[in-house]
Chain A
Amino acid sequence: MNNDKRRVLVVDDAVTVRAYTRQVLEADGFVVDEAINGIDGLEHAMANPPDLLIVDINMQKMDGYAMLRVLRQEPALRDVPAVMISTESKDSDREQARLAGANWYFVKPVKPKDLSEAARLLTGRSHEDKREG
């Protein structure tokens, strides 16, 4: 067990996107947890606060915006860095993500390199620090 590993919670309703994100981040030494919608994401995050959230916008039951808005009111979760990922690239969508509490916004599809670089930066892991499980 390596407790130093950074934990990333991926919230997306598309199983392929989750699997993709997991594959990229695990290869880079992150521990990845998955949730399938905003409500599920909140439950996962509350039970086990992650070091980083990667959240899809368009999801059933509770979308990414709503999830982040709730999350930002939770004392234990309000300062967890969050990345939103969407197929929309309009400025208005970015603005909405920002208002909901996202720290960064990626437009799908995200290159693996950008994804792991962002995860590394947002969780404070240096390049040399590549922990193997």
Chain B
Amino acid sequence: MASISLRNVVKKYGAATVIPDLNLEIEDEEFIVLVGPSGCGKSTLLRVLAGLEAIDGGDLMIGDRRVNDVPAAKRDIAMVFQDYALYPHMTVRQNMAFALEMRDLPASEINAKIDAAAKLLDIHPYLDRRPKALSGGQRQRVAMGRAIVRDPQVFLFDEPLSNLDAKLRGQVRAEIKTLSRQLRTTMVFVTHDQIEAMTMADRIVVMKSGVIQQVGTPEEVYEAPINLFVASFIGSPSMNFLPITLEGEQLRLAGGDSLPLDSGLSTGVSGPDLILGVRPEHFEVVPEGQGIPAEIMLVEPLGSDTLIHVRAAEQDLIARVSPDLRPVAGGSVFLRPIAGKAHLFDSATEMRLIGKNGK
């Protein structure tokens, strides 16, 4: 129940600058997901918010309070750790009560809060067990319960789903999202899994080398990635990239094939050093002569749709096609980007070029 404001935040470890200069405004009750590859500084940023790491420059505000020098214990935030970090010598109930005892709340109030959280998370049967006697999923719930009873200003999650199996992960993902609606608290969630980011976030913050690349809703970062990095990181399988030369209204591909320029892509820029980005799902299979010829190297049927790994325009590409097409390895198809769905990037700056239609 507080906004967070990071202004020119700098974080160094010795001589190494992990976060050079970071600015981010998180609104009250917003669910923010920090996403990026390992070492991009997302977990460091979360630890900075938690007060577990001091910052070397800038300002950090939680609500209207400047918390640069406020220790973790006094920030009124709750954190769910990657390894859950439950106190092994305490029962689930004691684990959940611990933070409340630190605040000297009366026992009746502590019990009421624990019961409410246990009901919400369905962990009543385990309240008197030690963490050792719980499964991974149960521990995960207890870790969330320990955070919920605090009724904190901000929830922080440090890759809390990475230790769960795929099925449980999907389930807990949905639960956390539901929870965030019920609790109406500001939440910051760190993950390297772009599916988690897409499914849970109000806004996604994509990071690389301690620098924010893009902040936007899941739709924005998916549909209008600001640069090559975001385009390749968000979406699975990754976006395909084809080096092209723009000749008038024609996109000249490596190997000599060409495609007509999509009107939406028209930027006024022409010449070499451009990159065409097309997501696998934004290729359509067309009759011969209307697209680029592609040799099918590998077929991955997923049930709902089929991924084909193809060799086209001297590149290895992946396209998502209808399973009704029944593609076979060794065969060939003709592919074309769906109108209005492809992106153009400047290969020097790696930035996406905005088309005349503003997209």
A, B from the same assembly: no
A residues whose Cβ falls under 8 Å from a Cβ of B: none
